[in-house]
Amino acid sequence: MFEIKTINNIAQAGLDVLAAKGIAVKNEETNPDGLLIRSAKLHDMTFGDRLLAIARAGVGTDNVPVERCTEKGVVVFNTAGANAQAVVELAICSLVLASRDVMGGALWVKSLAGRDDVEAAVEAGKKAYVGPEIRGKKLGVIGLGAIGARVAKSALNLGMDVTGYDPYLSVEAAWHLHSDVKHAEDAAAIYRTCDYILVQVHHNEKTHHMLDAAAIDQMKDGVRIINLARGGLVDEDAMLAALASGKVARYVTDFPSAKLAGAPGVVAFPHLGASTPESEEKCAIMAAQELADYLLNGNIHNSVNMPELTLERAGVCRLCAIHDNIPRMLNSFLDIIGGENINVEHMQNKARGPIAYTVIDLGSPIGPELIARIAAVPHVHRVRVL
């Protein structure tokens, strides 16, 4: 029986998925087969030799040492798309909050508590909180994945003129993109022309501080910027300077910091993007399903560090090998298997950059000696038999 450990609170619906598949949740286990987490930081965690996979009930995996996991043959999953609706709804809310000082106005009204002339004060003071309508304005969406594409469609329905940019747009995502969304050749085209900019990309070395002083300088005066993806995408010092000068009219973010909290022109949420009961449940279910399918069947779906590979079971047992993506690796496996007169019923090999994954369904069971020989092939990270 496989045993997994949860580090954060995981919705019961996800734990039920594991239980139904015969996978035990043992949080006292120090060397589990899998980890099911949300925002727990694992960079300083020592992994046991049994650890096969980590499933993150959420999208971002910057709390996981992905490179170390790859080297050890540990598959890292996320739940891309499971929390999309929750973030889309917050993005639509953010468009309005970026336009009109709803929050400032509401806080001002609260400050009037106890006065007898609230109605008169409101009528006299409301002009301080006015802002433009979003209908007819230009929205630029940088990142057209599950969230960005849906925000683009919703903004079109609200009467906005929408332009999108995503150099890594997948064919599947392109199919879901509304035909009225204009295509930008680069981010600079969005900076130059849009009244509102939503940045919805992954945070990595290439995207760190992508919205810096140089990017902001290219934008229209009075631009309104929304970042519900990751705080590191925006250079906070540059943003605060742009807000102070009026270059940026308002910055809405789901990632507050010591610099941003209380800063004029900043609307900061306490990381509410996926904080709905529905989203937490969907993420937990999806993460549990990914983890279970890999532990039980060797299938990989929605991994951030391994190739996508799913294969129907055939034969008596299944050999799964994570290895470097170099020539003749598959030949080496087949030579060892064929040398024992074991028939191959079904197999598949997929690569993702420097790493590859091979699944071979065999017509006969194999013992520990043969498994050890395959594991000893140079450039093999992990071998297991199901």
Domain C-terminal end among 306, 322, 355: 306
Question: Tokens for 372?
Answer: 């050890």
168: pLDDT strictly greater than 90 = no
362: pLDDT strictly greater than 80 = yes
Query: Is the domain of 248 the same as that of 127?
Result: yes
233: pLDDT strictly greater than 80 = yes
155-164 burial string, b = 16+ CB within 10 Å, else e?
A: bbebebbbbb
Query: Is the domain of 302 the same as that of 357?
Result: no
The total number of structural domains that make up the chain:
3
Query: Is the domain of 51 the same as that of 90?
Result: no
Domain C-terminal end among 241, 268, 295: 268
pLDDT tens-place string over residues 114-159: 999 999 999 999 999 999 999 999 999 999 988 999 999 999 999 9
235 band by pLDDT with thresholds 50, 70 and 90: very high
State the SS3 of 283-330. Answer: HHHHHHHHHHHHHHHCCECCECCCCCECCCCCCCEEEEEEEECCCCHH
188 band by pLDDT with thresholds 50, 70 and 90: very high
Region 264-287: mean pLDDT is 94
pLDDT tens-place string over residues 66-108: 999 999 999 999 998 898 999 999 999 999 999 999 999 999 9
39 band by pLDDT with thresholds 50, 70 and 90: confident
Query: Is the domain of 231 the same as that of 143?
Result: yes
Q: Cα dist. 118→101, 109, 122, 125 in Å?
A: 19, 8, 6, 10
Query: Is the domain of 258 the same as that of 139?
Result: yes
Domain C-terminal end among 254, 288, 306: 306
Distance, in Å, from the CA atom of 231 to the CA atom of 257, rounded to the nearest integer, reads 9
The domain that holds 302 is classified in CATH as 3.40.50.720
Query: For position 336, what pLDDT does the model report?
Result: 95
Kindly tell me the sign of the dihedral angle through the C-alpha atoms of 65, 310, 326, 382: positive
334 band by pLDDT with thresholds 50, 70 and 90: very high
Query: Is the domain of 228 the same as that of 154?
Result: yes
Query: Is the domain of 129 the same as that of 227?
Result: yes
174 band by pLDDT with thresholds 50, 70 and 90: confident
Query: For position 170, what pLDDT does the model report?
Result: 73
**C-alpha angle 50-52-57 in degrees, rounded to nearest 5:** 125
Looking at 2-11, 173-182, 303-312, which range is the least confident one? 173-182
Mean pLDDT across the chain = 95
169 band by pLDDT with thresholds 50, 70 and 90: confident
Percentage of the chain exceeding pLDDT 70: 99
Distance, in Å, from the CA atom of 37 to the CA atom of 51, rounded to the nearest integer, reads 14
Range of the domain at 69: 1-82+277-306
Q: Cα dist. 257→16, 65, 86, 250, 269 in Å?
A: 36, 23, 22, 16, 10
Region 224-251: mean pLDDT is 97
Query: For position 80, what pLDDT does the model report?
Result: 86
pTM over 0.75: yes
Query: Is the domain of 78 the same as that of 88?
Result: no
The domain that holds 344 is classified in CATH as 3.30.70.260
Contact between 64 and 56 (Cβ < 8 Å): yes
Query: Is the domain of 195 the same as that of 325?
Result: no
Query: For position 175, what pLDDT does the model report?
Result: 74
Query: Is the domain of 132 the same as that of 43?
Result: no
62: pLDDT strictly greater than 80 = yes
Question: Tokens for 266?
Answer: 């900043």
**How many Cβ atoms sit within 10 Å of the Cβ of residue 180?**
10
Query: Is the domain of 30 the same as that of 137?
Result: no
Query: Is the domain of 318 the same as that of 377?
Result: yes
